[in-house]
Amino acid sequence: MAAPIIDLRFSMNTDFFLQNSVWFGAAIASGSLLAYSYWRERGLTEVLGTVGAIQLINREHGQLLDVRPAKQYANGHASGAKHIELNQLSTALSQLDSKHPWLVIGSETEAGRALKLLKGRGLRAYALEGGHNAWVQAGLPVTRD
């Protein structure tokens, strides 16, 4: 069997990347900006985990808004949460303080609809990723009515 031939293409490819690193960097930055724009349009940057939620509450005096149905709310809700069912939210928006951000607790669908309404009125709002279940699993305070 013949000895293997050394493939020099790898070193040529490396040289190509090094010589064009500015262009590759620009392509990566451009792609990142496009991805961020895509996610922002779809509201995906407006979701906070429980750690982000606590930071929002502590640092910016964020307020909790539970948009789940009354029966679910009565079975347990985040302590201090204001309850307005999603189907009543559009008529109750005037009751919400616009000075501080809102953290919406509900299912993904409920929270998404609530965010559209809140943001349509110029309010800063975020959805809690995982909803009420995430709040409970994180060991955060819960009240039952």
Q: Say if residue 34 is in the same domain as residue 103.
A: no
Whether residue 136 lies inside any domain: the answer is: yes
Q: Say if residue 20 is in the same domain as residue 56.
A: no
CA dihedral (90, 96, 98, 103) positive or negative: negative
Q: Say if residue 113 is in the same domain as residue 71.
A: yes
Whether residue 129 lies inside any domain: the answer is: yes
Helix, strand, or coil (residue 130) = coil
What's the structural domain count of the chain? 2
Q: Say if residue 33 is in the same domain as residue 75.
A: no
Q: Say if residue 92 is in the same domain as residue 131.
A: yes
Q: Say if residue 68 is in the same domain as residue 137.
A: yes
Confidence at 38, pLDDT banded by 50, 70, 90: low
Read off the pTM.
0.70
Q: Say if residue 89 is in the same domain as residue 102.
A: yes
- In whole angstroms, what is the distance from residue 115 CA to residue 104 CA? 7
Percent of the chain whose predicted confidence (pLDDT) is above 70: 81
Q: Which residue has the higher pLDDT, 137 or 40?
A: 137
Structural domain range at position 36: 9-41
CA dihedral (26, 31, 34, 39) positive or negative: negative
pLDDT in tens, 90-109: 999 999 999 999 999 999 89
Instruction: Rounding to the nearest 10 degrees, give the CA dihedral for residues 111, 74, 70, 142.
Output: -10
Whether residue 2 lies inside any domain: the answer is: no
Element (H, E) at 103: strand 102-105
Copy the structure tokens of residue 30.
């451009």
Q: Say if residue 131 is in the same domain as residue 70.
A: yes
> Comparing C-alpha atoms, which of 140, 81, 139 is closest to residue 114?
81
